[in-house]
Amino acid sequence: MSPVDPVTSPAQHVPIARPFFGEEEERAVVEVLRSGWVTQGPVVARFEEVVAERVGAAHAVAVTSATTALQATLVALGIGPGDEVVCPSYTYIATPNSIVNAGATPVFADLDAETWSVDPAAVEAAITPRTAAIMPVHMGYAADSAALHDIARRHGLAVVEDAAPALGAHTADDFGNRAVGDSEGAVVFSFHPRKIVTCGEGGVITTPDGRVAEQLRLLRHHHMSVSDVARHRAGGLVFESYEDVGHNWRMTDLQAAVGVAQMGKLDRILAERADIARRYDEVFLGHPHLRRRRLLPGSSDAHQAYSVEVLAGAPLSRDDLMAALQRAGIATRRGVMSSHLEPAYVQRFGRLALPHTERVSGNTLMLPVFAGMRADEVDHVRASVLSALAGPRG
CATH of the domain at 300: 3.90.1150.10
- What does the DSSP 8-state code read for residue 305? -
Question: Domain boundary at 204, 239, 263, which?
Answer: 263
What is the C-alpha separation between 141 and 295, in angstroms, rounded?
A: 7
Q: Specify whether 254 is located in the same domain as 278.
A: no
What is the C-alpha separation between 209 and 199, in angstroms, rounded?
A: 25
From start to end of 176-335, where are the E strands? Answer: 176-179, 186-190, 203-207, 290-291, 306-310, 333-334
Question: Domain boundary at 263, 283, 306, which?
Answer: 263
**Short-list 69, 103, 77, CA closest to 212:** 77
Q: Specify whether 36 is located in the same domain as 85.
A: yes
Residue 11 located in a structural domain = no
Which residues touch 43 (CB under 8 Å, ≥6 apart)?
A: 32, 37, 253, 256, 257, 260
Residue 12 located in a structural domain = no
What is the C-alpha separation between 133 and 84, in angstroms, rounded?
A: 7
Q: Does residue 41 contact residue 228 with C-beta atoms inside 8 Å?
A: yes
CATH of the domain at 39: 3.40.640.10
Residues involved in catalysis: 195
What is the C-alpha separation between 92 and 305, in angstroms, rounded?
A: 13
Question: Domain boundary at 263, 290, 309, which?
Answer: 263
| Cβ neighbours of 152 (radius 10 Å) | 22
Find the domain containing 37 and state its range: 23-263
| Cβ neighbours of 224 (radius 10 Å) | 16
Residues in the chain: 394
Give, for all 394 residues of the chain, the pLDDT tens digit. 333 333 344 567 999 999 999 999 999 999 999 999 999 999 999 999 999 999 999 999 999 999 999 999 999 999 999 999 999 999 999 999 999 999 999 999 999 999 999 999 999 999 999 999 999 999 999 999 999 999 999 999 999 999 999 999 998 765 557 899 999 999 999 999 999 999 999 999 999 999 999 999 999 998 886 676 665 666 666 667 778 888 999 999 999 999 999 999 999 999 999 999 999 999 999 999 999 999 999 899 999 999 999 999 999 999 999 999 999 999 999 999 999 999 999 999 999 999 999 999 999 999 999 999 999 999 999 999 999 999 764 3
Q: Specify whether 257 is located in the same domain as 286.
A: no
Q: Specify whether 281 is located in the same domain as 208.
A: no
Q: Specify whether 299 is located in the same domain as 279.
A: yes
Which residues touch 105 (CB under 8 Å, ≥6 apart)?
A: 83, 84, 85, 99, 130
Give the model's pLDDT for residue 6: 34
